[in-house]
Structures are given as structure tokens and as C-alpha cells.
Amino acid sequence: MSRLARVATISVHTSPLDQPGTGDAGGMNVYIVEVAKRLAERGIEVDLFTRATSRALPPDVELAPGVMVRHVTAGPLEELDKSELPRQMCAFTSGLLRTEAAHEPGHYDLIHSHYWLSGQAGHAARLRWGVPLVHSMHTLAKVKNAALAEGDAPEPLGRVLGEQRVVESADRLIANTADEAEQLRTLYDADPHQVQTVLPGVDLRTFTPEDTEEARHRLGVPQDRAMLLFVGRIQPLKAPDVLVRAAAALVEREPRLRERLLVTVVGGPSGSGRTRPTELVELAARLGVADVMRFEPPCPQAELADWYRAADVTVVPSHSESFGLVAVESQACGTPVVAAGVGGLRTAVRDGESGVLVRGHDPVDYARVLADLLGAPGRLRRMSAAAVRHSRAFGWQTTVDRLLEVYTQAVGERAMAASA
């Protein structure tokens, strides 16, 4: 490991300093931050490159000891929609290359880029610096387009082509699950040797099972409520509307449940959801369940852990999910999960033990599953214990152990190729 001293991490479209749960910030932000911190704890410096979106932030910000966020000026100093970012990639890449040029050759040992836009910049840096490029897609355009939510716009052809170029140029592709690895091989013709599966992690020091009553007291949640929880960005892809419609089906099925049902949504508008920021509130009113809803903004992880602990069930009805960090965080806090049986959620949730996977997105199916669970407290307690056990396989230290294996392989192969 002495040959790996400094990593350049690239995240063009969302800053690791952003609060997950709104805008474009989500599980990828958590992934980047947690991995960087743990690499630094092992003596590997990390520079996180992201596009500057505010004059209020200095060019360089220390995120943690050994971890620096480098703001690259590329386009206007404001948040841009992801569709506008490809036009800023030349400026971003130039800024990235200038940073390295200010140091002695060989300043960085490896590049890890996240999301396809970052992979474009990573490819140019790989060629200039002569170091390996490791890339994480996090989501795939072809997969998202195949499971498009109603009212959501398909990913453009430019992204599909851009992802293909990244696949062709990266030394290693990190897949979150075996399903994603297979999608990279079959949909993008990735070399099997190139694709490595590394399960994301969860902060098991923050997300822990604690007393539900105390968590509810801290959050102002009545102790007698049957609480369902949604955490994440409010956009069609994440399907929070499925939970609202399921709540309406629940109270229609069991009218007495209305008196104690509480459906809490923690998150903010994102993606196409930002064009209709009040749509979920309006949907609840139209369906007659506004009285059982509670909407909360994104919050720091310590508070988020309390929301998981306070809930009886966390619902993750996404149309597409490369992993499902919310599902693992919830289980680590001892709260079972009802999730869509798609993508990485099939890995994140142990169906029938730590939660229930639902085929499709019919709110009536979700209502039936939720009614069964809320009516069986003994089963919920058994699932809670199983959820905690299942989550223990997803610690960030395990993720970083595996990433370092991939990094070392890539660096070693590049060194051998250079000396041949």
C-alpha cells in the first residue's frame, strides 16, 4: 500500500459538502464522503474535485484530516441542471488538469470518478497523468430508461454514449451489486475483468438500534402512532407517490387505522420533481390523507437515524435503485423495510427476513403488505432483529477494504504496462 499515497476523486455535478436528500445530493454523496474519510484514516490523502457553485465557498475546503474538497470553476457560480453540465466539461477538465500541473509529476496515484460526467474528466486526466482510472456509475441510463417512472423524462442519448465511452476508457468499473455488474457486462459490453463488485456501506457508528420511545420523544412523534417513513429525494424515480397512494389504500381498507397512522417524508425536491415541488403535498390532499402526512426537510445523519428508529417500517418504492442506502441505514437502526424488488434493493433487503420486497409499484400491493406488518407486532420485532444482523455486512470499513484491493490491482497493472 506504500505505492498508493494520494487519490483524486471526481464528482462534477454534486458536491460532497451538499446535504443529501435534496437537489442532486443523495447516496452518492454519502458514499464519496465516507470512503474518503476512511481512506484518509489509513494514510491515503484524498482530493475531492467538484464544480464550484457558490462564491461563498473558498477554492479549497478541508472536509476531514487528509481530505480536501477542491472547487473547480466551470461555468456560472450557481447550481445547474445536469442537462446543462456537459457544456461545462471542457472548463472543468482544464481546471482539474491545472491543479495537478502545479505539483511535481506523479502527484496522484489513482483517479476515482463518480457518475458518467466525472468519468469524462477522469478519462482526460488518466491520459495526462498516466495513472489508472477507477469509475463508479452509481446509476445507468439504460437501466433507468427501462424502468421509467410515469411523468419522468428519459435519460438522453448523450448520456448513454458518454457512459459507453467511460466503460471503454476506465481501468476498473466499480459495481455496487452483482446485478449492476451484470448490467455493465450485458448492456455496455464491459470486460468482465474490468468490472469489480464492491458493496457500499453504512455508518454503523451513527445508524444503530436505540430506544424507539426516546427517538419519538426527541422528534415530537406521538408514541401511539403507526409510523411509515420515506427518506430520500422527492422525484418520480424514487416513487414517494406510491407510499402516499398506499396510505390512502390503507385507510380505505382499515378506516380505524386513520386515527393512529403517520406517514413521514424526509427529503426535498430533486430532478424533475423540482419543477413540481408541492406535487406530493397536493396528491395527499386529493387522496384525502393530508391529515396523516408529515413532511420534513433533509437532515444531518444523527437526526436521520432518529427518524429511522421512530418508524415502524421504512418504505423504499423506487423504480430503479443501484443499491439502496436508505434501506440499509434503516435496517441498521432496527427498522424493517418494505421495498420495490428492483436493482440493488434485492441485495440491500433480505426478503421475508429483514423486510419485504414488493413486485411492481401498485399502491394496493404496498398497502396489503404494510397492513399485514402493522397488524403483526411479533413479526415486526423478529424482522427488526434480523434487519440489524443483516446490516452488519455493510460497514464502510469492509467497503474500503475491497476498494483498496481494486485500487492496488489497477495501480499494479498500470505499473507493469509502463515497464513492459
As annotated, the binding site for 1D-myo-inositol 3-phosphate includes 13, 24-29, 82, 115, 139, 159
Q: With contact defined as beta carbons under 8 Å apart, do 308 and 335 qualify?
A: yes
Give CA separation, 340 vs 232, 237, 238, 365, 403, in Å: 14, 12, 10, 11, 28
Measure the CA–CA gap between 246 and 252, rounded to whole angstroms.
Answer: 10
DSSP assignment of 158-222: HHHHHHHHHHHH-SEEEESSHHHHHHHHHHH---TTTEEE----B-TTTS----HHHHHHHHT--
Q: What is the three-state SS of 336-375? A: CEEEECCCCHHHHCCECCCEEEECCCCHHHHHHHHHHHHC
Element (H, E) at 262: strand 261-266
Which residue ranges make up the annotated binding site for UDP-N-acetyl-alpha-D-glucosamine? 19-20, 27, 233, 238, 321, 329
Which residue ranges make up the annotated binding site for Mg(2+)? 308-309, 311, 335
Which residue ranges make up the annotated binding site? 13, 19-20, 24-29, 82, 115, 139, 159, 233, 238, 308-309, 311, 321, 329, 335
Cα-based angle 7, 11, 15 (whole degrees, multiple of 5): 115
Q: Which is nearest to 340 in space by CA: 329, 331, 332, 351?
A: 351
Cell of 85: 453540465
Cα-based angle 406, 48, 274 (whole degrees, multiple of 5): 110
